[in-house]
Amino acid sequence: NAISKKLKEFEMERGIPATELGVKEAKLAFAHVSFSLVALLIGGLCGLLQTLVRTGVIPEIAGIGYYELLTAHGLMLAIVFTTLFIFGLLFSFLGQSFGRFEEFPRRLGWVGFWLMMLGVVLVTWMVLAGEASVLYTFYAPLKAHPVFYIGLVIFVVGTWISSGAMFRMYADYKREHPGVHPPLQAYMSIMTVLLWVVATLGVAATILFQLLPLSLGWTDKVGIELSRTLFWYFGHPLVYFWLLPAYIVWYTVIPKIVGGKIFSDALARMSFLLFLLFSFPVGFHHQLLEPGISAFWKYIQVVLTFLVIIPSLMTAFSMFATFELAGRRNGATGLFGWIKKMPYRDVRFLAPFVGMLFFIPAGAGGVINASHQLNIVVHNTLWVTGHFHITVGAAVALTFFGTAYWLVPLLRGRTLTKQLNRIGLIQTATWTIGMLFMSTAMHISGLLGNPRRTGPAAYFKDSLVADWIPYHAAMAIGGTILFISILLFLFAMFQLAFRAPKGIEEFPVAETEEAAMQTPLFFENWKLWIFVTFALIAFAYTVPIWHMIENAPPGAPGWKLW
């Protein structure tokens, strides 16, 4: 047809593929991205409905109340939307880096995709049927239907198979190019999936050995502290699994869009390496207020938490450097002259940039959370909900939105038009306003003691907590604006996938600045880094987990609270 003919001509002319991504690779990536958008729609709708139910604007319908909606909201957005979008994006990065995939890894990619879909269907079915109102953390001793856990396992196995496909491609490239650094985007993508695979070992352990047997009735008690510890061993690196793909875009795509270069290849690789090393031994910062873990081990993991902030600070530094150098190339002067030179009218830049702005207070909030004394004030309040809506819900989500505006047309052989770019700008603005309303209200009312994950309660009318009511109104308003933003986004994506004019969208990848130093080859020493990663995990977890098992209370029966 016309488009492939045009592509062919283009390829002939330049002697290279029109885009490094072949048609088959694009199909695989688009399958992931398009289903991630379905999850975004369902998850966003459930988010809006749970706010309205909690605020008392609407009643629960057909037995689907606050906890069912909140569970679906969390799972659909935090797990399904993110993971599918990320795998689609990483397959695109690998296609761009390595060219066409071999038949075998591409097949694996499809097997992984379909297993993920099967897992999602089982999990969603159970949640909507009211069999698994356990929220996205499915904490013990809450007990869901076995099919819920089986769905989760199938989903995770799917991701492992897709990750295997990626490892295979990376290894093939390294074998064929000895002594060379694989492209930066490929290195970062592999680091991201490696982080995911190591992290999911923990959650797989608690599901397979604790929660599923409990749910099937094979055991009648569950060790709560151990289960939560295995969950957070996964749960913290999970947040970096969301963040790192956004960072790949910040490091490698944004410089191109602002007309600059990647500040430093070595710095970028090193920050990702540090994420691998320090993402795992920090899960206790989610359990600071739980008994059964000694203060010493909490302290150790808090120190390590402060270490894992460093690669984010490196990223901030690198972004400022990129912006300033690009600005100066375009004639900016002075310390802040670059601010006037950025392409704010390009959604591919604006959305991720607003995400970066959100990430400044979001990161500061994380540092507050990690400080034990302050955690006592904020733990289990809406403050934490505010924190993760400006991390994953703003910094990461906005980056993914901005990315989708070039990725979706690229995968579909179409181009981003002026009008759709303008819709993108409006959509970014609505997301920003909605999120400002919602997350500010969450942070403040959290400080006033407003608990998270608590259904509509009669005590709201109590004069003691009447202060919270205006904040709930602000959250409902913010949530509504956010949902409108999602609808705008999905409209634009539909147009970009099926209606926009055909053509070749550029895959924006920046070049690197003239390097002050060469990237050291030991960054490629995977055996060493995986060893150090597991050594740090063993250091931070062996003794406290041993204490948990040795001093374990008899265990708790599973509970179904709904």
Query: Does residue 310 touch ligand HAS according to CB under 6 A?
Result: no
Query: Does residue 387 touch ligand HAS according to CB under 6 A?
Result: yes
Query: Does residue 472 touch ligand HAS according to CB under 6 A?
Result: no
Q: Give how many residues touch ligand HAS by CB under 6 A.
A: 34
Residue 379 binds which entry of Cu ion, ligand HAS, none, CB below 5-8 Å type-dependent? ligand HAS
389 is catalytic: yes
Residue in 32, 228, 256, 379 binding ligand HAS, rule: CB under 6 A: 379
Give rounded-to-5 percent helix, strand, coil for the chain.
Answer: 75, 0, 25
Handedness of CA 182, 159, 302, 229 (dihedral sign): negative
Least distance to ligand HAS from the beta carbon of 539, Å? 19
Query: Does residue 379 touch Cu ion according to CB under 5 A?
Result: no
Query: Does residue 309 touch ligand HAS according to CB under 6 A?
Result: yes
236 is catalytic: yes
Query: Does residue 387 touch Cu ion according to CB under 5 A?
Result: no
- Catalytic entry in 269, 286, 414, 452: 452
Q: Which residues contact 306 (CB under 8 A, 6 or more apart)?
A: 367, 370
CB 236 within 8 A of CB 536: no
Going by C-alpha positions, the residue among 86, 69, 94 that lies closest to residue 35 is 86
Query: Does residue 83 touch ligand HAS according to CB under 6 A?
Result: no
Query: Does residue 356 touch ligand HAS according to CB under 6 A?
Result: yes
CA distance 477 to 35: 27
388 is catalytic: yes
Q: Give residues 400-459 in contact with ligand HAS (rule: CB under 6 A).
A: none
Reduced to 3 states (helix: H, G, I; strand: E, B; else coil), residue 26 is helix
Q: Which residues contact 330 (CB under 8 A, 6 or more apart)?
A: 259, 341
Residue in 116, 243, 277, 347 binding ligand HAS, rule: CB under 6 A: 243
Q: Which amino acid is at 177?
A: H
Query: Does residue 228 touch Cu ion according to CB under 5 A?
Result: no
CA distance 231 to 317: 32
Q: Which amino acid is at 520?
A: P
Residue 387 binds which entry of Cu ion, ligand HAS, none, CB below 5-8 Å type-dependent? ligand HAS
- Which residue, 82 or 97, is less far from ligand HAS as judged by CB? 82
Measure Cα distances from 260 to 337, 354, 512 in Å: 15, 18, 9
Query: Does residue 388 touch ligand HAS according to CB under 6 A?
Result: yes
Q: What is the DSSP string of 77-129?
A: IIIIIHHHHHHHHHHHHHHHHH-SPPHHHHHHHHHHHHHHHHHHHHHHHHHHT
Residue 313 binds which entry of Cu ion, ligand HAS, none, CB below 5-8 Å type-dependent? ligand HAS
CA distance 333 to 335: 7
Residue in 236, 389, 412, 472 binding Cu ion, rule: CB under 5 A: 236
Q: Which residues contact 249 (CB under 8 A, 6 or more apart)?
A: 352, 399, 402, 403
CB 275 within 8 A of CB 191: yes
247 is catalytic: no
CA 213, chain centre distance (Å):
29
Query: Does residue 19 touch ligand HAS according to CB under 6 A?
Result: no
240 is catalytic: yes
- Catalytic entry in 181, 387, 414, 472: 387
- Catalytic entry in 181, 285, 379, 389: 389
- Residues that bind ligand HAS in the complex, under the rule CB under 6 A: 137, 239, 242-243, 285-286, 305, 308-309, 312-313, 315-316, 319-320, 339, 356-357, 359-360, 363, 366-367, 369-370, 375, 378-379, 384, 387-388, 391-392, 396
Catalytic positions, please? Answer: 236, 240, 387-389, 452-453
- Residues that bind Cu ion in the complex, under the rule CB under 5 A: 236
